[in-house]
Amino acid sequence: MASEKPLAAVTCTAPVNIAVIKYWGKRDEELVLPINSSLSVTLHQDQLKTTTTAVISKDFTEDRIWLNGREEDVGQPRLQACLREIRCLARKRRNSRDGDPLPSSLSCKVHVASVNNFPTAAGLASSAAGYACLAYTLARVYGVESDLSEVARRGSGSACRSLYGGFVEWQMGEQADGKDSIARQVAPESHWPELRVLILVFRAESVVPARMAEMARCIRERDFPSFAQLTMKDSNQFHATCLDTFPPISYLNAISWRIIHLVHRFNAHHGDTKVAYTFDAGPNAVIFTLDDTVAEFVAAVWHGFPPGSNGDTFLKGLQVRPAPLSAELQAALAMEPTPGGVKYIIVTQVGPGPQILDDPCAHLLGPDGLPKPAA
User: 132-188: per-residue pLDDT in tens?
Assistant: 999 999 999 999 999 999 999 999 999 999 999 999 999 999 999 999 999 999 999
Residue 21 pairs with which residues in a beta bridge?
A: 39
The partner residues of 101 in beta bridges, in order of sequence, read none
Q: Is residue 155 within 8 Å of residue 86, measured between CB atoms? A: no
- Each residue's pLDDT tens digit, 89-128: 998 887 766 545 445 678 889 999 999 998 665 556 678 9
Q: ∠ at Cα 346 (243, 21), nearest 5°?
A: 40
Separation between Cα atoms, residue 137 and residue 223, nearest integer Å: 35
Q: Given CA atoms 289, 223, 132, 145 in this order, what sign does their dihedral have?
A: negative
109 φ/ψ angles, rounded to the nearest 5 degrees: -85, 160
Helix, strand, or coil (residue 71): strand
User: If you ran DSSP here, which 8-state letter would residue 61 be given?
Assistant: -
Mean pLDDT confidence for 27-42: 94
Distance CA 245, CA 267 (A): 31
Average pLDDT, the chain: 90
Distance CA 256, CA 276 (A): 13
Q: Which helix (H) or strand (E) holds 233?
A: helix 224-244
AA letter at 101: P
State the pTM of this model: 0.90
Side chain identity at residue 151, one-letter code:
V
> What's the pLDDT at 373?
86
pLDDT of residue 10: 96
Q: Which residues contact 185 (CB under 8 A, 6 or more apart)?
A: 164, 165, 166, 167, 168, 169
